[in-house]
Structure formats: C-alpha cells, structure tokens
Amino acid sequence: MDKFETLTGVAAPMPLVNIDTDMIIPKQFLKTIKRSGLGVNLFDEMRFDRQGNEIADFVLNKPAYRNAEILVAGENFGCGSSREHAPWALLDFGIRCVISTSFADIFYNNCFKNGILPVVLDQAQVDVLMKEAEKGENARITVDLEAQEISTSEGEVFSFQVDAFKKKCLLEGLDDIGLTMEKGASIDAFEATAAQARPWV
Amino acid sequence: MSPKTLYDKIWDAHVAHEADDGTCLLYIDRHLVHEVTSPQAFEGLRMTGRKVRKPELTIAVPDHNVPTTPGREDPKNMTEDSAIQVAALDKNAKDFGIHYYPVSDIRQGIVHIVGPEQGWTLPGMTVVCGDSHTATHGAFGALAHGIGTSEVEHVLATQTLIQKKSKNMKVEITGKLRPGVTAKDITLSVIGKTGTAGGTGYVIEYCGEAIRDLSMEGRMTVCNMAIEGGARAGLIAPDEKTFDYVKGRPHAPKGAQFEAALAWWKTLYSDDDAHWDKVITIKGEDIAPVVTWGTSPEDVLPITATVPAAADFEGGKVGAAQRSLDYMGLTPGMPLSDIEIDTVFIGSCTNGRIEDLRAAAEVLKGKKVKVKRAMVVPGSGLVRAQAEEEGLADIFKEAGFEWRLAGCSMCLAMNPDQLSEGERCASTSNRNFEGRQGYKGRTHLMSPAMAAAAAVTGKLTDVREMM
C-alpha cells in the first residue's frame, strides 16, 4: 500500500448526499479478478452516457477537475455494498482523500486498506471546503495526515480526528496482515481457550 | 459484574488481543466467501505465500453473478467474465481446502441463506463475509457484518479482524403488528425513521414483542437491512425459536455438544440494566405496509401515502429528493397506489426464504399477473425444492411468474437478470439505488406479499385490500 503523508491537490465538489458504492462503481465492473484498472469506470453511470461519451456537466469531466485528487462530498458517502472496488476505482482515478460529514462504516474501513484517507468534518467545515472546491483548480486543498489538518488556499485550517492505528498504517504504508501475524501467539492462545469453552464452534 | 448488552457479551468472548489504544483482534468463527469479492483476496495470499489459517471455518458458495436459468453448470452458459469468477472460486476452494457448494449442488444459494440453512450460523458466533448483507446472520444472536476484500484476505490469513468496538443501539418494536404487516415493513420503517446513516457507528439490537413474535425467517429479514440503516450489524437475542431452528441442521452441534452449546446460548441476552447509547422505540401497531418511492432505502412511506415533494425535506436531502423524483419519474402528490409496475422480483437474501415464498403465493393463489414480467428466485436450491414440494412453485407458474434457480439475481443485477432503462420494478430486495437493478431501472422496495399484490394489479397495491 502507498503511504499517505501530505497531499496538496484539486478537490472536486460532490454535494450530493448518500453517494453509494453502486454509483462509485456500478456492478458490471465487479466481474474483474484484479484490483487495478477500475479508474476509467469510476462513477461510470454519472460520468458517461450509454455510448461511452462523457456527460459534460459531471464534475470529474470538467477541465478543472479531471486531475482531482480530493473529493468533498455530501453526508453518508460510500453507503451500500461492501465492494472494495469502490476505493480501488477512486484510487486508480487518482483520488487519495475524501472529505464528508459522514461515511458508511465498511467503505470507511476499506479506504484505509488502500492508502485513501477519509476525513470527517462537521457540516460548517465541509460547507467551507465545498465552496473552496467549487472554485476549481486554482483552489488547492492541503491535507496533512501527521498534523491531522486540512488547509485551504485562503489559509483556513481545520483539524480532524483519525484513529491512531489507522493513521500509523497510512503514514507508513503498512501491511496490516503482517502486523496481525506478529500477534500469532495471542491468536493461538485464544484458539486454545475457545476450543475448551466453545468446542462446538 | 457490570451489566452487558448482547453485543458486549459476544464481543468480549471473541477478543483475541487488545492493544493499549483499544484496537482489538476479534476472532472470527465463520467466514463466508463468494465469487465476486474474494478472488483478489486469494490472489493476495498466493502472492505473499500465506495460507488460510482455518479452512474448516471458511465456507464458499457462488451466488452473486451466476445465471438463474437451467444449464448453468456448464460455464459456456455463463458470460465469460462471470465464468472466470466462478472458476476462480472453484479453484480457490479446492486449493485452500475450504467448504464449497458449487452451482451443481442443491445446497447452493445466496450465501446468507445457505449459512443458516446448513447450520454454519449459530448463536453467539462472529460471522463475516465480503458482502454487506452479512448482517442477516444477526437474527441468530451472532455478531455478523460485511467486510471489504482486504479484510477477507486478513480473515483468511489470520482468522481475525482488526476492530474497534461500536456503540450499542436498541431498536424496540413494541406490541403486535397489524394484519398485512411483515418483517420487511418493520425493517424499512426503522430505516425510514433513522435514515440510512442513523446507525453509523452502532450495532443494533432489535427487541420487543413484535420482534419476538417473528419467525427466524422474519428475523433474518429485519437484521439483513441493518446495514441499510448504516449499522455495523443487527442482532436479535436467541430464544427457543432460534434453538429449534438450529437443532438438527447439518453443521449444528449434536448430542452433548448441543446441550453444552445451548447452556451458553441461553446466556446471550442483554442484561436488564445494560447501557444503551441510543434507543429507538416504535409501536408495532403504527407500522403499515410500506414501499420506497426514491433511490435511498430511507425513502419509505406507507402505501396509503402520496409521492412527496423535494421541498418536504431539509438540507442536503432536498437536492437528493429532487434527483430521486427525476430518476424515478414520479410527480409529487401522486398516490403511491397509482404507480404502475412493469416487473416484479421476488427473491434476494432479504426475502428469498420459504416463508417469503409462502406469503407471496398466498396472495397469488388462483390469480394472474398483470405485469410485463414477474420472477421468483428462491434463495437456495433447498428453498426451491421445498417450495416445489409445498405446491408454491405451481402457484407462481400458474400466475405467470418465472420460476428460477437460486442466486442473488436481480437484487444487484450482476447476472443477466436486469431491468432495462425506465423499467419499473416492485422488488423484495434491499436497495433501490440508481442503476442497482439495471441501468436507469426504477426500484420500489417492499415485502413479498406487497410485491405479489403489485403483480396481480399491475400497480403498487395495499395488500390489505386483497386479504
């Protein structure tokens, strides 16, 4: 997994609430057995018509946002299916950070496994960043994970919360399976105790 | 000892390691696997030379993209990309030595129907699957939730998940339900009240007389949609109905082991003075047969209501409601019961069990469908066989329904069962998102009885008028 330390980039505004994982990556693209290459299908049904032509007024098709690295989105982003294809598609497109007032639980966790930082801010702060994002490519937003701060090109700074373990994994690009396997002795001990307590499992 | 909720008890029994910051390794008792969210996880194991730590606790079944028409045992009758995913699951199950139900096996079906049916799902367990509707298994008093593919790989390799504990929410449905009101109406009404983000950060325990009165099938329907309310999991405390359902299932404990298990299962309830971070109470008698009108599961109204206007909402929901109305092709003020339906879909992990088919068949008996197409997709091969034995299949076929093989089918439309542009569907599934059942398809969620009623009249219909 790629590390996430700091990021300064264009933020695309997506004020719609409840952007679900079916919108982020429609199911016809889930038939892959790979993690890569999904960026061209990100937001497919909002981004392209049935003939594959770009829908001009969709935000990521506008010249200012074609290289966006940050999304500022309405509440409950990533609701619905557990498909990790959603963060894979975002990452493959180049999005490394999503900012919203809330995220669906599974999507939120999936982001951290893929080097994407989901940031929760309150409504007033998201409103400021949404306005900032609407200014286009001149208004770059900076995300500093170590400092847990987001700053606008106007100099406004918002701090955010992130779980310490998740932060460490992102900052260092850690493989959490490897970290868990280092605790193999604890798992062995648990299994031995559980085999006595709940032998029917 | 301090009082605990059911969630606290199951959690405490499964913590294999706790770090100073509260990050835990939660031990997983059952890992269910399907063809769409697992190939990359197995590939990850191969690339790192890791093994499946507990293959005997891992159960695989293809369900998401398999066709539901005859001849599907032959990969030539699948689309090429579906066949590749199913072949990958075949190979992964074999290579890693995990339990497997291929499409040719009568026990094949939707993973969340197969697990309980085969007795893999038991009270007090932790159950995960790379599918958000894993919440279904919570009906047994099991802590069950969906995970992403990276977490699937993590569970395969370590039999644990890295977790922090969620908060406790109690959803109590008091008293009795009125006639024509079902588990689906309960679970949709709860989401209508809390919103799709109302459960974020919580594990919900459903309780109250109306929940206790539900069958195991009904309880699975309620827990199934906990995720639609944003919760990590939904739970119902196990009781005699649960124990009766489990007893004798192929993978349930037998004899003295069953008795030992039962003794522990009977301790799995929330203590009277346990702490709840949030409590929602709904009177059972206030719940009506409901349908969704929009493109979020929270867009729920009684069938007797009219289509709302965007101005009826606040904040970001105003724009979302207008977008939903445009997408669904609906005019504010129109009675919901005037909405004409093209297609009816009965099935899914929400409503693909025997009781669901019985409820739909009860409405359809001796009647004909008035819609362009109607489809029943049983949740498993065994549900299908039982429905045939009970004569339900004949009722469906005589009414004009297609009688399909088991799978997820049009719930997520990964296989050929899809809506076309503008096609409007009365569906017993769980999501009405844009494009969910097919590009620009329009979905109204409801109970099996309500979907059957819509099939008969060609419009969204109050099933109580047909009772």
pLDDT digits (tens, 9 = 90+) for A34-70: 999 999 999 999 999 999 999 999 999 999 999 999 9
* Interface residue B397 vs chain A (CB under 8 A): no
How many Å apart are CA B86 and CA B75, to the nearest integer? Answer: 9
Look up tokens 């099996």; give the residue. Answer: B448
Whole-number pLDDT of residue B138:
98
How far is residue B350 CA from its own chain's centroid?
4
Q: Out of B29, B162, B197, whose CB is closest to A176? A: B162
Q: Out of B29, B130, B434, whose CB is closest to A22? A: B434
Residues of B in contact with A197 (CB under 8 A): 13
CB atoms within 10 A of CB B309: 14
pLDDT digits (tens, 9 = 90+) for B413-448: 999 999 999 999 999 999 999 999 999 999 999 999
Q: Identify which of B62, B67, B56 has the alpha carbon closest to the alpha carbon of residue B39.
A: B62
Query: Where in B306-441 does DSSP place strands (E)?
Result: 343-347, 373-377, 402-403, 424-427
Q: Out of B122, B131, B258, whose CB is closest to A82? A: B131
Mean pLDDT of chain A: 96
Our CA-based measurement puts residue B397 at a distance from the nearest CA of chain A, in whole angstroms, of 30
Q: B231: nearest CA in chain A? A: A105
- Taking a C-beta distance cutoff of 8 angstroms, is the pair B140, B121 a contact? yes
pLDDT digits (tens, 9 = 90+) for B36-76: 999 999 999 999 999 999 999 999 999 999 999 999 999 99
Q: Identify which of A118, A49, A40, A137 has the alpha carbon closest to the alpha carbon of residue A78.
A: A118
Whole-number pLDDT of residue A175:
85
Give the pTM.
0.97
Q: Do A177 and B36 touch (CB under 8 A)?
A: no
Share of chain B above pLDDT 70, in %: 100
- Which DSSP symbol is given to A28? G
pLDDT digits (tens, 9 = 90+) for B162-218: 999 999 999 999 999 999 999 999 999 999 999 999 999 999 999 999 999 999 999
Mean pLDDT of B303-332: 97
Mean pLDDT of A78-100: 98
- Taking a C-beta distance cutoff of 8 angstroms, is the pair B160, B28 a contact? yes
- Bridge partner residues of B206 (DSSP): B171
Our CA-based measurement puts residue B454 at a distance from the nearest CA of chain A, in whole angstroms, of 26
Mean pLDDT of B358-365: 98
How many Å apart are CA B85 and CA B93, to the nearest integer? Answer: 12
Q: Residue B452 corresponds to which tokens in the numbers above? A: 């059957």
Whole-number pLDDT of residue B106:
98
Q: Name every residue whose Cβ is closer than 8 Å to that of residue B463 and which is 6 or more positions away in sequence.
A: B180, B289, B363, B447, B449, B450, B452, B453
- Which DSSP symbol is given to B175? S
C-alpha radius of gyration, chain A, whole number: 19
* Interface residue A168 vs chain B (CB under 8 A): no
Whole-number pLDDT of residue B275:
97
Q: Out of A22, A50, A76, whose CB is closest to B196? A: A76
Residue A137 binned pLDDT confidence (cut-offs 50, 70, 90) = confident
Q: Do B316 and A17 touch (CB under 8 A)?
A: yes
Whole-number pLDDT of residue B96:
98
- Taking a C-beta distance cutoff of 8 angstroms, is the pair B136, B225 a contact? no
Q: Do B261 and A20 touch (CB under 8 A)?
A: no
Q: B123: nearest CA in chain A? A: A201
Q: Do A80 and B157 touch (CB under 8 A)?
A: no
Q: Residue B59 corresponds to which tokens in the numbers above? A: 């159960």
Whole-number pLDDT of residue B1:
77
* Interface residue A94 vs chain B (CB under 8 A): no
pLDDT digits (tens, 9 = 90+) for B71-93: 999 999 999 999 999 999 999 99
Query: Where in B3-132 does DSSP place strands (E)?
Result: 15-18, 24-27, 30-33, 58-60, 99-100, 126-129
Whole-number pLDDT of residue B27:
98
How many Å apart are CA B124 and CA B301, to the nearest integer? Answer: 34
Chain B, 245-284: which have a CB under 8 Å from a chain A CB? 253, 257-258, 260-261, 264
Residue A138 binned pLDDT confidence (cut-offs 50, 70, 90) = confident
Q: Do B316 and A114 touch (CB under 8 A)?
A: no
Residues of A in contact with B319 (CB under 8 A): 15-17
From residue B257, how far is each of A196, B117, B263 by CA, in Å?
12, 19, 10
* Interface residue B149 vs chain A (CB under 8 A): yes
pLDDT at residue A170 above 90? Answer: yes
Q: Residue B174 corresponds to which tokens in the numbers above? A: 């008091």
Chain B, 42-101: which have a CB under 8 Å from a chain A CB? 43, 48, 50, 53, 57, 64-65, 79, 81-82, 84-85, 88
Residues of A in contact with B39 (CB under 8 A): 33
> Helices in B352-391 by DSSP H: which ranges?
354-364, 381-389
Element (H, E) at B167: strand B167-174
Whole-number pLDDT of residue A1:
87
Q: Residue B86 corresponds to which tokens in the numbers above? A: 């199913």
From residue B26, how far is each of B66, B69, B154, B324, B454 by CA, in Å?
32, 40, 11, 39, 44
Residues of B in contact with A104 (CB under 8 A): 197, 200, 230
Our CA-based measurement puts residue B391 at a distance from the nearest CA of chain A, in whole angstroms, of 35
Residues of A in contact with B146 (CB under 8 A): 82, 106
Q: Identify which of B32, B35, B30, B31 has the alpha carbon closest to the alpha carbon of residue B408.
A: B35
Mean pLDDT of chain B: 97
Q: Identify which of B155, B136, B137 has the alpha carbon closest to the alpha carbon of residue B33.
A: B155
